[in-house]
Structure 1
Amino acid sequence: MNIKRYAGIFSAALVVGLAQSPIAQAGGPYNITLAGGSVGGAWSAIGTAIGETIKTQYPGSAFTYEPGRETSNLVLTSEGKVQLGIAHAQMALIAQKGLEPFKKPLTDIRAIALIDPEAAVQILATQSSGITDLAQIKAKKMSVRVSLNQRGTLMSITGEAVLAAYGITVKDIESWGGRVTYGSYNQGLELMKNGQADVIINMLAFPARHILNAARDTKFTMIGLSAEAIKKLNEELGTESISIPANTYDFQPNQVNTIRGKVILVASTAMSNQEAGDIVGAMLKNFDFLQNAHATLKRLSKDALPQTSPIALHPGAMSAYKAAGVLK
């Protein structure tokens, strides 16, 4: 789908919610490109909605949504080729440290806002596989078929780290006659449905629409993480502990303990304090619109927006949050 056409459709559908927003007198207009996820996904809808708040608050501003992946989003933002990017805070931390898959430290990455607080690791196994604990895989050297997200995403890095927390490597799985495949979550769920994958690991909010839809055709077991694995992963990845309540899904009668990441909006320290603050101001002043733009944003409060740890806020964003009274 043509990106500009998509953005136009989105804008026309939701602009009514912004029509009565107050117009800022200072700052702008701005020319902003935001690098997010694939067209039609959550990051695409969220990024486009953020663009609408900027254009409404600062008439004459130009906004372009650019589909991408979080690794490249961070690099492009650091290089100044885009003004804003969407990524997991934990991937941004990896970027700041210059660890794989980054070639050098991106020390100039800063946060503008939290946009998803509950990107939880959710591990599903087909009931037919008989897997109820990841420890089984190593103990029995199972020829398991594992589906992970696309390479270069925090989701795939975390998936490999989850296996490693149980002493399992990709090479181990291959030596036992199994395999690990990388692709989109929808592709992985399709493999599960067709009996071509036994386990899938991803990070997303719960209850996830993808899982609810897939469970109509595939019988799943949700697998939790051990306390030892959670501690190790949190220390390694900068994630946080979280529990998925019992009965979040029909096939999940018990509470499941796991970890979560955060999805944030990022900019470079090269962005002026004025521009960063004005972007925050546009989001705050049109917050009702943002909450109605996507279910992920609906879970947020204004007070949650500056909670971007482990990535520090851009100084301009921090000043804007303090001025609005949402950060002390």
Structure 2
Amino acid sequence: MNYLLRVNFLILSLLVFGGINFEAKAQKYNLTLTGASPGGLWSRIGGGIDAAIAKAYPGSTVSYQTSSGGLANVPLVAAGKVPMGLATDGELNAAVNGLKPYKKAIKNTRVLFRVYNPASRFQMSFFAATKTFADKHGIKSISDIVSKKSPMRVAINRRGNMDADVGAAALNLLGASRKNVTSWGGQVVHAASKEIVSLVSDRRLDVVNFGIAFNHPRVREIAKNASPVLLSYGENVASKVAKQFGGEVCRVKPGEYKWAPNGAVSVCMGAVVVVNANMDAKLAYNITKALVEQIETFKNKSHRLIKKTATSSVLAQKGNAPHHPGAIKYFKEKGLM
């Protein structure tokens, strides 16, 4: 009997003091993800990330913190004010290279995983002219507007939005700079996408060039109210703009929009979750693991567009900053890198 007691005591000691403590293995994380405005695509993505991590590590939470967007999120992560942030490819590219609006490069952020890629066309430059304007001036392409110096009232995204810079850069390369448009008797205005739709409906705009998801309800509203002519950046301009802003060339295929038989070449951006380079490697590994292993939860609790496009391969795709070593370790173990 004494012998059995000694054996049981030895086994118990090994379990408690020898590192086989099952309580210690039950990880719980309370994290914050900074995104953009409430109710949009990113907030839904935040909900999906929260659900995936909670499923992998019961009792864990990821709180979604609103912000003005990726341009603000990267500095917040770099300063250690939040552990995770969402940023588009263009925003992260600007940050790591010290481009406008940043005064210097931010080098201490790392990509944890990608939430959507440019091919998903969740952030695409929508470029079109109203039928009224096109018919009046005989417009079939942007080159027609430039060669005829047609007095267009064109809208791009509001100032401070990376999509506005993308739109302005494309117009410059196409020969429709603000200076040129003004000299033709036209006007370049900045507005949010919702306001742009309203201005088109009120016949106060002739051309729109703003970032939005492919076939977004606002695009459909413009199509309904203005019977637009889809305009194309063309391969050369799209390639230059994509390279400048860290995006990719993307396309609308002929007939994808029923009202656009010719299709168009455009620029698209994806988005990633960024973390500080000093994030604990185990934490980075575990978060990445949770997203991959619980990808169905991530998809089901996220935006419906994510449900159609998210895969483990997409999560592992490169961004415009290096991946965190913890994420790299997991992705390599799974053959995703």
Instruction: Give the distance between the partners of 2:81 and 2:252, measured in 1 at CA.
Output: 38
Aligned residues: 304
Please give the residue correspondences for 1:1-328 in structure 2 after superposition, counting only pairs within 5 Å: 26=25, 28-68=27-67, 69-117=69-117, 118=121, 119-130=123-134, 131-292=139-300, 293-297=302-306, 298-323=308-333, 325-328=334-337
8 Å CA contact retained: 1:88, 1:154:
no
Q: Report which stretch shifted further, 307-316 or 172-181.
A: 172-181
Higher mean Cα deviation, 290-299 or 174-183?
174-183
The two structures have a TM-score, normalised by structure 2, of 0.83
Asked if the contact 2:157–2:163 (Cα under 8 Å) also holds between the matched residues in 1, the reply is yes
Q: 1:142 to 1:54 in 2, by over 3 A?
A: same
Contact 1:207 / 1:248 at 8 angstroms: preserved in 2? no
Gaps of 5+ in 1: 1-23
Task: Point out the structure with max Rg over C-alpha.
Answer: 2
2: CA distance between counterparts of 1:48 and 1:25? Answer: 27
Give the C-alpha shift of residue 107 in structure 1: 0.8
Tell me the secondary structure at the aligned position of residue 129 of structure 2: strand
Take 2:208 and 2:115, find their aligned partners in 1: how far apart are those partners? 24
Question: Which amino acid is the alignment partner of residue 310 of structure 1?
Answer: N
Give the conservation status (yes or no) of the 8 Å contact 2:230–2:263: no
Listed as ranges, the gaps of 5+ residues in structure 2 are 1-22
Amino acid at match of 1:85: G
State the Cα distance separating 1:327 from its structure 2 match. 1.3
* Root mean square deviation, CA, Å: 2.2
Q: Under a length normalisation based on structure 1, what TM-score does the superposition of the two structures give?
A: 0.85
Taking every aligned residue pair, what percent have the same amino acid on both sides?
27
Shift of 1:28: 4.0
User: In structure 2, what is the Cα distance between the partners aligned to 1:44 and 1:155?
Assistant: 19
How far off its partner does 1:123 sit? 0.9
How far apart are 1:269 and its partner, in Å?
Answer: 0.7
Deviation at 1:25, TM superposition (A): 7.4
Question: What secondary structure is seen at the aligned counterpart in 1 of 2:270?
Answer: strand
> Does the 8 A contact of 1:36 with 1:86 survive in 2?
yes
Instruction: Compare 132-141 and 190-199 and name the one that shifted more.
Output: 132-141
CA deviation string 1:114-159 (max 9, x = no partner): 2222333221221111143223333333332222223222211111
Q: Does the CA-based 8 Å contact 2:247-2:269 persist in structure 1?
A: yes
